[in-house]
Structure 1
Amino acid sequence: MMELEYIKAGDYYIPNLIANQEPQVHLSKYGSLHKAFLKNHRSGVYTGLLLNGELMAHCYEVQERALDMMDRLTDQLAKSEGVTEQLKVSDQMGWVRRMNNIRSRAEEIVLREVVYQL
């Protein structure tokens, strides 16, 4: 059985519980969305990762996978649909419209397959 240390706070003894320290990393959109997903929908996994000091590293890894997949999908979809620099020169608004559509579809796929998964 584990023995716990206690700290006296006024008239009470409080267990001295310290979670593992984890490195502070900056989470962008996808990392933050994954963290919120875990907290709201997979609270057991969230708590386990938090207590083991692995939450931020896990969210950062998901963020990197999501950004990489977003870049790859955007490039692949643009290439398959013929959205090129030549189109950008000849029809700027058409190029912007098509690229926004491509980015939206790529982001929808990334969110479903990477961010909102374990």
Structure 2
Amino acid sequence: MEKFIRDERTGLRYELIGDYYLIAGEDEPEGRPIGIWGQRHLRYLKQHRKVLYSELLISGKLNDYLADLNERAEELFSRLVKQLVEKEGVTEALKAENLMLWVQKMNSIRNTAMEIVSNDLIYA
């Protein structure tokens, strides 16, 4: 079977994926990056939300959906890190006094923020 076929009547191009021909996306690369958060959500969709994944893929909205989610996740992550830094009192003065303690606290803050973003956006 051919990898790509074109329907002359409709002008649509189809790609062989597994045993089925699905409408092929545009040949041009997407302008918006999916990013790490989008890739994690894509993995989640493929494993746990197969119907939603198929609907987004077939409609051609998957990349935009993942790029939007990635942007929201990045904004939430940045906001959470800033809030937690203020709450924990992690300052540049602490960094100058005790670098290892500052690194430990920043790693803890980043891990906390990553867990919140993952639970609220990525695996929801």
In the superposition, the TM-score normalised over structure 2's length comes to: 0.77
Distance 1:57 1:82 in 2: 38
Q: Give yes or no for contact 2:80–2:113 (8 Å, CA) kept in 1.
A: yes
Q: Give yes or no for contact 1:23–1:56 (8 Å, CA) kept in 2.
A: no
Gapped regions of structure 1 (runs ≥ 5): 7-14
TM-fit CA distance, 1:26: 2.6
Rg comparison, structure with higher value:
1
The root-mean-square deviation of aligned C-alpha atoms, in Å, is 2.1
Q: Deviations over 1:31-87 (max 9, x none)?
A: 100111111110000000001100011011111111110100001001011001111
The answer as to 2:23 corresponding to 1:18 is yes
Moved over 2 A (4+): 15-23
The answer as to 2:107 corresponding to 1:96 is no
Query: Taking CA–CA contacts closer than 8 Å with sequence separation of 6 or more, which of the two structures ends up with the larger relative contact order?
Result: 1
Amino acid at match of 2:66: C
Distance 1:111 1:17 in 2: 31
Gapped regions of structure 2 (runs ≥ 5): 1-6, 9-19
The answer as to 2:40 corresponding to 1:40 is no
Distance 1:17 1:67 in 2: 32
Task: Report the 3-state secondary structure (helix = DSSP H, G, I; strand = E; otherwise coil) of the residue aligned with 1:83.
Answer: coil
Q: 1:53 aligns with which of 57, 60, 72?
A: 60
Would the alpha carbon gap of residues 85 and 32 (structure 1) be closer, same or farther in structure 2, given more than 3 Å must change? Answer: same
The answer as to 2:62 corresponding to 1:62 is no
TM-fit CA distance, 1:27: 2.1
Distance 2:107 2:123 in 1: 22
Distance 2:100 2:38 in 1: 31
Aligned residues: 105
TM-fit CA distance, 1:20: 4.8
